[in-house]
């Protein structure tokens, strides 16, 4: 059986497939390291209303890089992209339904005028209380 026959049997994924170069993988790896550093930095900042959306945006970017390059969806056509599109659509639908449920449920459960205590994060000494003033 020739190499061409083996490539056709495996859906076009033989040794000549559309996988990226080593440089491409190194670039993606560096971008993932930068994303990990940004995630750590955001987690160490005092919590605010933008902490979660920023962390989710960074995680989405990192997940997209992994799916496109390490799962080889960047060069693929057809069924793999359809499966990914279906999974992402279902995920967005479920998160939308969850957020809608949370938005309409909890204002009715919490009495008006009652403030729920939100614990504040205590930062370590270089950043938090006990920081020497100059």
Measured CA to CA in angstroms, residue 53 lies from 50, 58, 72 at distances of 5, 9, 27
| Distance of alpha carbon 57 from alpha carbon 35, whole angstroms | 10
Give phi and psi for 73, each to the nearest 5.
-85, -15
What is the residue-level pLDDT of the chain in tens, covering all 134 positions?
Answer: 555 544 444 555 544 455 778 999 999 999 999 999 999 999 888 878 888 889 989 999 999 899 888 888 887 788 888 888 898 899 999 999 988 887 777 655 666 777 777 667 666 666 655 555 55
Structure tokens at 28: 């993606």
Q: What angle is formed at CA 89 by the lines to CA 75 and CA 19, rounded to 5 degrees?
A: 15
What sign has the CA pseudo-torsion 93, 99, 102, 105? negative
The confidence score (pLDDT) of residue 128 equals 58
User: Domain limits of the chain?
Assistant: 1-76, 77-110
Stated pTM of the model: 0.56
Question: How buried is 69 (Cβ within 10 angstroms: 0-12 exposed, 13-18 middle, 19+ buried)?
Answer: buried
Position 7 scores a pLDDT of: 47
pLDDT at site 101: 82
């Amino acid at each position: 059986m020739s190499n061409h026959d083996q490539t056709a049997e495996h859906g076009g994924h033989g040794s000549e497939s559309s996988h990226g170069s080593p440089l491409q993988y190194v670039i993606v790896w560096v971008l993932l390291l930068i994303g990990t550093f940004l995630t750590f930095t955001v987690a160490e900042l005092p919590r605010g209303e933008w902490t979660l959306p920023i962390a989710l945006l960074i995680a989405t970017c990192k997940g997209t890089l992994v799916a496109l390059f390490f799962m080889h969806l960047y060069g693929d056509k057809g069924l793999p992209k359809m499966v990914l599109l279906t999974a992402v659509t279902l995920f967005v639908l479920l998160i939308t339904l969850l957020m809608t449920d949370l938005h309409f449920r909890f204002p009715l459960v919490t009495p008006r005028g009652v403030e729920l205590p939100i614990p504040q994060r205590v930062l370590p000494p270089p950043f938090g209380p006990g920081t020497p003033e100059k």
